[in-house]
Amino acid sequence: MSKRFVVIAIFIIASAIVGGTFGSGMRGYGSSAMQGNLPGAVDQSASVVNTSFSRNNNAIASVEQAYQAAVEVVSNNYGGEVDYEKMNQAAIQGMLSALDPHSAFFPRPEFTKLREDQDSRFYGIGVNILRHHDGVYVQSPVDNTPAARSGLRYGDRIVEVDGKDARDWTGEQVSKNVRGARGEPVTIKIERAGALAPLYFTIVRDAVPLPSIRNAFMVNPGTGYIGLQGGFTHTTGDELRRAVGALKKENLRQLVLDLRNNPGGLLDQAITVAGQFLPRDHTIVSVRGREYEQPRIYKNNEVDPEDFPLVVLINRNSASASEIVAGAIQDHGRGLVVGETSFGKGLVQRVFQLPFGTGLTLTTAKYYTPFGRLIQRDYTNGSLYDYYVRHDPEDDAQPTQPSRSASPTSSTVPTQPTLAGPAAEPTPTPVPTGPAIRTAAGRVFYGGGGITPDVEVKPLDASPLRARISEAAFYFTRELAAGKLPGLENYRVEQVQYGRFPRSTDFAVTDRVLEAFRNYLRRSPELQLTSAQADTDSEFARLRIRTEVVTAAYGNEAGGRILLESDPQLGRSLEALPEAKRLAESIRRGTALS
């Protein structure tokens, strides 16, 4: 592989990635300038361009010479075998890492996955999985996918994939091996609670949807909830229209739009989402950078936007495209923003396709809210670890929301056990560094530190004890749903009943169930949780057990609704809706709120 691979990009795919904090390891996808295909905000006028280096020929020549000299020294003197492809990829990544936290290199498999994620689907089996302490388990098959049709169940432990031992694999490794070409079979060996011997499933891979909207329902009469937490992909705007339309049929009069943990995605979809709530011709976002002589301004061109009261819910992992939406709603006073200060990802990337199926994202500009706030927080001080991982003492073990044991996603991408904390949070909490910006109704906000909520609310309290309760609740429910607990056979789940949602009486966690949980803990010392410890937070234990058993019976979306019932951030969002209505009305009248 030539040294020129390091410095020459053969193709440019102008895809606007407004991507946020997700990706491989701590590396994030980026954001860019419009009409794109890749997670993040990326311009996608798919032109083929031969990249020119005329401005910096001397500097580039010296880089090439130094790199070539280093390769020759390694080739002629290294005492072991040289993996030139690996070495070259590391050189590119090192070069990009010296620029900013969001310029990143993608080897062929990761670049392929990047494209799949943008297309809102991939080829696999369609199952939510989660790594627990002794292996990777099925959390829930996705409706109408090969996994669901084959009979995989909640609590199935994946021990082999195509004959390869998977007992010590991470969720990511299982996901990688389960995915493949459409129409190709994959054989999975699982251990099932109650089964005397391992079970084998040969499943033919097919297209699996990756929806942006994971939950949409009426919280109470007139009030709707839409969980837009799956990124901004090609289908996001249409998904939102369908969700709002369905809720209108149930007499929707006001809405909470949940963008928590949404890592970002396509810029054009962020504009479409914000545009469904903002008046026509209102500015949604502007992009400023080297490629623009003047800021590039994007305005709403939706013909008939919604005008009902709106609250947008964000947290520390709401990034990029999510921040564009929240910032536009907040700047124009169209609704209130509730939750925690967002991630602060406002760099614009272009996606460059390199030879050999690889690619990179490169920062080319920054984006700003309608009234001129820079969202990107400072990354020049501290390490990359400090940029992504929060370690403030007062926030140890805090989740970004009362999260599921597995996120409601149709992919086989793993998620961490609940209450373990997110994989990418800023340290410290973003501090605004930009000038004061006066927005609609005379409100003042500051740029340079993410989107600051109008109403700050912490997530559900968490602790190491609650993390252990959540883990134990999964293993207990695995036995409960398999019908293995005497006297509780009515909790047995034969198969998922998709499309059903729990009534208050469905799978109630009675005192009898809680006593069975205590007995289970007494004979399961490996869980490192005593019955006495569980009793100190018995209400949380009830919540987690019911969440798990509803997930087993009705699927991830139904289980997610159980957690939302006890979500303090959602609760405060509902309380803020009257204030959001007053704010929007004052903006329309041209008056300020006192």
Residue 121: per-residue pLDDT: 64
pLDDT tens, position by position, 544-563: 999 999 999 999 999 999 99
Contact 551, 506 (CB under 8 A): no
Query: Looking at the predicted structure, is the pLDDT value of residue 39 above 70?
Result: no
Asked, for residue 447, whether it belongs to a domain, the answer is yes
Is residue 349 in some structural domain? no
Give the torsion sign (CA, 19, 386, 470, 507).
Answer: negative
**How many other C-beta atoms lie within 10 A of the C-beta of residue 580?**
27
For residues 149 and 145, what is the distance between their CA atoms, to the nearest angstrom? 6
Q: Which residues have a catalytic role annotated?
A: 320, 331, 345
Lowest pLDDT segment from 190-204, 215-229, 400-414:
400-414
| pLDDT recorded at residue 438 | 86
Distance CA 92, CA 522 (A): 53
- Condensed to tens digits (0 to 9), the pLDDT of residues 325-373 reads 999 999 999 999 999 999 999 988 888 888 888 999 899 889 899 999 9
pLDDT band at 434 (very low <50, low <70, confident <90, very high): confident
Highest mean pLDDT out of 28-37, 171-180, 242-251, 287-296: 242-251
Residues 132 and 127: their CA atoms lie apart, in Å, by 16
Does residue 423 share a domain with residue 326? yes
pLDDT at 591: 60
Task: Tell me, yes or no, whether 524 lies in a domain.
Answer: yes
- Tens of pLDDT, residue by residue over 254-276, are 999 999 999 998 899 999 999 99
Same domain, 331 and 398: yes
Same domain, 282 and 414: yes
| Four-residue CA torsion sign, 126, 128, 130, 135 | negative
pLDDT band at 118 (very low <50, low <70, confident <90, very high): low
Is pLDDT of 6 > 80? no
Banded pLDDT at 111 (limits 50, 70, 90):
confident
Longest dimension (CA), the chain: 79
Whether residues 98 and 133 fall in one domain: no
Q: Is 353 inside any structural domain?
A: no
Return the structure tokens found at 518. Answer: 């205590």
Average pLDDT over residues 475-489: 96
Count of the separate structural domains present in the chain: 4
Cα 335 to the center of its chain, rounded Å: 23
For residue 124, the cross-strand partners are 206
What confidence score (pLDDT) does residue 352 get? 87
Model confidence, pTM: 0.82
CATH of the domain at 203: 2.30.42.10
Residue 10 has pLDDT above 60, yes or no: no
Q: How far apart are CA 100 and CA 103, in angstroms?
A: 6
Query: Which residue is it, tokens 């790199």?
Result: 67
Residues 103 and 201 in one domain: no
Please give the residue range of the domain that contains residue 135.
121-209
Q: Running DSSP on this structure, what letter comes out for residue 582?
A: H
- Is the preceding peptide bond at 464 cis, omega within 30 degrees of 0? no
Query: Are the C-beta atoms of 345 and 376 separated by less than 8 Å?
Result: yes
Q: Are residues 253 and 372 in the same domain?
A: yes
409 in Cβ contact with 210 (< 8 Å): yes
Tokens of 381: 């001080």
SS3 label, residue 285? strand
Contact status, residue 299 vs residue 282, Cβ threshold 8 Å: yes
Closest by alpha carbon to 345, among 379, 304, 311?
379
- 74 & 185 share domain: no
Is the pLDDT at 15 greater than 50, yes or no? no
Tell whether the model's pLDDT for residue 481 goes beyond 70: yes
Considering the domain architecture, whether residues 229 and 90 belong to the same structural domain is answered as no
Residues 299 and 386 in one domain: yes
- Of the listed ranges 118-122, 321-325, 578-582, 588-592, the one predicted with least confidence: 118-122
The whole-chain average pLDDT of the chain stands at 83
Q: What gap in Å lies between CA 582 and CA 507, rounded to an integer?
A: 40
Helix (H) or strand (E) holding 62: helix 57-77
What integer pLDDT is reported at residue 431 of this predicted model? Answer: 58
Q: Residue 340: name the closest of 428, 406, 407, 232 by CA.
A: 428
Cα 65 from Cα 62, distance rounded (Å): 5
Domain finish residue from 52, 83, 118: 118
Last residue of a domain, one of 391, 422, 456: 456
Are 470 and 544 in contact by the 8 Å Cβ rule? The answer is yes
Residue 485 lies in a domain: yes
What per-residue confidence (pLDDT) applies to 277?
Answer: 97
42 and 109 in a single domain? The answer is yes
Same-domain check for residues 98 and 205:
no
Tell me the DSSP string of 120-143: TEEEE--EEEEEETTEEEEEEEPT
Same domain, 449 and 473: no
Asked whether residue 584 is domain-assigned, the answer is: no
Tell me if 573 is assigned to some domain: no
Indicate the pLDDT class of residue 19, thresholds 50, 70 and 90. low
Query: Helix, strand, coil proportions of the chain in percent (round to 5)?
Result: 35, 20, 45
pLDDT of residue 337: 97
